[in-house]
Chains A and B, each alone.
Chain A
Amino acid sequence: MEIFYPYIFMGILLVTWLTSVPVMVLVERKVSGWLQYRVGPTRVGPWGLLQPIADALKFLSKEDVVPHHVNKWLYIFAPALMVFPAFFVIGVIPVGILTLGGKEILVQIGHTNIGILYVLAVSSLVVYSITFSAWASNNKYSLLGGLRSAAQMMSYELPMGLSILGTIMLVGSLRLEDIVNFQMNSAWGIVWQPLGALIFIVTAFAETNRLPFDLAEAEAELVGGYHTEYSSMKFAMFFLGEYCNMLTASVMITLLFLGGWNVPFVQGMNLEPLTQQVIQIAGLALKVVFLMFFFVWVRWTLPRFRYDQLMNFGWKTLIPLALANVVITAIVMAIVS
C-alpha cells in the first residue's frame, strides 16, 4: 500500500491543479469585476458559476486553425510545451503531512534532495514554449512579443535564484519540507528574510507573465504577443499553463516564506494528529487562495511597466538587492553564531 502513496498523491495534486484553473478563471473575472465596480459574469448558471465550463466548451468547439505560413510541427508543439512544465513541476512540491497507518507521511510525489532547484529548473522550461510559439507563428507581433517575454523571463530568473539563497543558508537544505519544518520550529520565512521574500514575490509575478509584467501580451501594442496566431484549445492551453504556474508560484511563496502548512496555535490544541494535519493542509490552501487573490488584486492596482523600465528594474535593482540580501544574511549569521 505504501508504495502507491506517491501515485495517489499525484492523482490528487494533478486534479487540484487542473480544477484550480476554471476556478481561478471565474475568480479572476469576478474579482476584476468588483475591483472595477461592475458585477462580472452573471449569466451562465447561478452567480455566473458555470462561466468557466461555458468557456471551456466554447474553446473546444471552435475551429482549430493552423495558418499556412507557420512551421506546422513547432506551431503545434509550442502550447504542449507550455502545459508540460506546468504539471511536471508539481513533482517535488509537498503540501502537508498525514498520519496514515501509524506513520507520518509527507504528501509529496517524489522525495528528492533538490526541491527548490527542481522547481526553478522545470519552470524555466516555459521559456521554450514562448520562443517556439513566437518563431513558429511567423508573425511579427508573435516574434516581438515572444522575444521580449523570453528576455524578461531570463532576466528575472537570476534574482529569483538569488533571493532563495538566504533561506537555503538559514535552513541548510534545498528540500522544501525542511524549509517548512524550519519555519515550524522558529518563525515564518518572511520574518527571517523580508527582502528575500519581497524579491521572490516580485520575480514570481514576472515569471508567470502577470501584470504588471505582462509585456508579452501588451495588447495595446502587440495584439496578443506570442499567441497571436493561435486559436481554439491551443490558445487556451497557454492560459492553462499560465494559471497552473500561478498556482505553483503561490504554493512556492507559501512554502518558502509564509510557513507552508504551519498554522499558528494549532499545535497547542492537543488535537488528534490527523485532524491537526488536515487543518494544516487547509491552512496551506487558505494561504494559497489569498495569494491567488493577491495576484488579481495587483493586476488591477499597478500599471504595466514599459519594457526598458522592466529590464532595468530586473538587472539594476533586483539583482543588486538580492546579492545584498545574501551578503547581509551571511554576515548576520556569522555574527550570531
Chain B
Amino acid sequence: MGHAVAFYVFGILAVALALATILHKNIFKSATFMAGMLFCLAALFITLDAEFLAVVQVLVYIGAITMLIVFAIMLTTRINDETRQKFNSQLWISSLATLGFLSLIISVVLRGGWGGVVTESGSLPPDMLGAIGTALLSDFILAFDVVSILLLVALIGALHIAKQDDRKLYVQESFVDDESSAVKNHVKETEEMHV
C-alpha cells in the first residue's frame, strides 16, 4: 500500500517537474527542475528495489550531467535573461521523433514479456550489487568492454571539439552583453554538444 503510494507520488512529481523543465521561461530554473525530476526518478528506482541504479542516477545524472548543464548556463547567460525561445524551427521534426519514440515505448510495454523481469520484490537476488557485477563480467562482458571504449571515444571527441579553438572559446564580456539571439544560440549549442 505505502509502496504504491510512494510510486505514484514520485511518478506524478517526476512528470510535473519534467513539464516544468520544458515550460519554464528561465533556463537556469529549468535545469533545477530537471535535477528534481531526476531525483524523483531515483526514488522510483528505490521503489523498484534497484538501489544501485538509484544511487548511480544521483551520482551521474544529478551530480555530473545536470551540473554540467548548469555550468554551461552560468557561463553564458545573465540573470535577467527571462525570455528564452521554447520552440525553434525543428518543432515539427522533433515532435515527430518524440511521437515515434513514444509509440515505440508503448508497443514494447504492451507486448509484455515481463515475466522474466522481477515483479515481486522478494524474488530479487539478495546480493544485488554482486549480481550486477557477476552479470557484467560474464553475460555482458562485451558490453562492459565496449562501454569503456565508448567512453574513451566520447572523451577524445569532446576534447577535440573543446580544444580546437581554445582561444576563441573564452566567453567575452561584449558577447554576453549582446542581447541578440547569439547568447541563446550559444547556450543551445553547448547544451547539444554534450547531450
Bound CA–CA A172/B58 (angstroms): 22
Report how far A48 CA is from B127 CA in the complex, Å.
Answer: 52
Please tell me if B52 contacts chain A, counting CB pairs below 8 Å: yes
Task: Choose among B35, B55, B67 the residue with the greatest number of A CB atoms under 10 Å from its CB.
Answer: B55
B79 touches A118 (CB 8 A): no
Known: A71-B79, A74-B32, A114-B55. A131 touches B129 (CB 8 A): no
A298-326 vs B, Cβ < 8 Å mask (1 yes, 0 no): 00000000000000000000000000000
A150 and B71 form a contact (CB under 8 A): yes
Is there contact, CB below 8 Å, between B71 and A136? no
Given the complex of chains A and B, what is the CA–CA distance between A70 and B29 in angstroms? 14
Q: Is B10 an interface residue (CB 8 A)?
A: no
A252–B70 alpha-carbon span in the complex (Å): 29
Whether B74 and A143, one on each chain, are in contact in the complex, defined by CB atoms closer than 8 angstroms, is: yes
Residues from chain B with a CB closer than 8 A to the CB of A77 are 32
Is B79 a contact partner of A131 (Cβ separation < 8 A)?
Answer: no
Q: In the complex, what's the smallest C-beta–C-beta distance from B170 to chain A, in angstroms?
A: 14
Name the B residues within 8 Å of A74 (CB-CB): 28-29, 32
Do B129 and A113 touch across chains, with their CB atoms under 8 A apart?
yes
A: number of interface residues (CB 8 Å): 33
The binding surface of chain B is classed by DSSP as helix
Considering only CB atoms, which chain B residue lies closest to A73 in the complex? B29
Tell me, yes or no, whether A214 is within 8 Å of chain B by CB: no
In the bound complex, do residue A121 and residue B59 qualify as a contact, i.e. CB atoms below 8 Å apart?
A: yes
Check if B129 sits within 8 Å of A127, measured CB to CB.
Answer: no
Contact A131 B58 (CB under 8 A): no
- Interchain CA distance A77-B51 in the complex, whole Å: 28
Q: Is A120 part of the binding interface, using a Cβ–Cβ cutoff of 8 Å?
A: yes
Instruction: Chain B residues near A132: list those with CB within 8 A.
Output: 32
Q: B157: CB under 8 A from chain A?
A: no
Q: Are the CB atoms of A121 and B58 closer together than 8 Å?
A: yes
Take A113-B129, A117-B52, A121-B55 as given contacts and tell me if A135 and B74 are in contact as well, using a CB distance cutoff of 8 Å: yes
The answer to whether A120 and B28 have CB atoms under 8 Å apart is no
Residues of chain A lying within 8 A (CB to CB) of residue B67: 127-128, 131, 150, 154
Complex: A91 Cα to B32 Cα, angstroms: 24
- A138–B79 CB distance below 8 A: yes
Contact B79 A127 (CB under 8 A): no
A131-B74, A136-B79 as given contacts; A114 in contact with B52, CB under 8 Å: yes
- Whether, in the assembled complex, B128 has its beta carbon less than 8 Å from a beta carbon of chain A, the answer is yes
Contact (Cβ within 8 A) A134 B74? yes
Chain B residue contacts of A73, Cβ below 8 A: 29
Q: How far is the CB of B83 from chain A (nearest CB, A)?
A: 15
A275 in the interface, Cβ–Cβ < 8 Å? no
| Contacting pair A131 B59 (CB below 8 A) | no
Q: Which residues of A contact B (CB under 8 A)?
A: 69-71, 73-74, 77, 112-114, 117-118, 120-122, 124-125, 127-128, 131-132, 134-136, 138, 143, 146-147, 150, 154, 157, 172-174
Given contacts A121-B63, A147-B71, A154-B67, 6 further A-B pairs with CB under 8 A are A113-B129, A117-B56, A118-B55, A120-B59, A135-B74, A143-B74
Mind listing 12 A-B residue pairs with CB under 8 Å? A73-B29, A113-B51, A113-B127, A114-B55, A117-B56, A117-B59, A127-B67, A128-B35, A128-B67, A135-B73, A136-B79, A173-B129
Query: Which 4 pairs of residues, A with B, have the shortest CB-CB distance?
Result: A124-B63, A121-B58, A117-B55, A121-B59
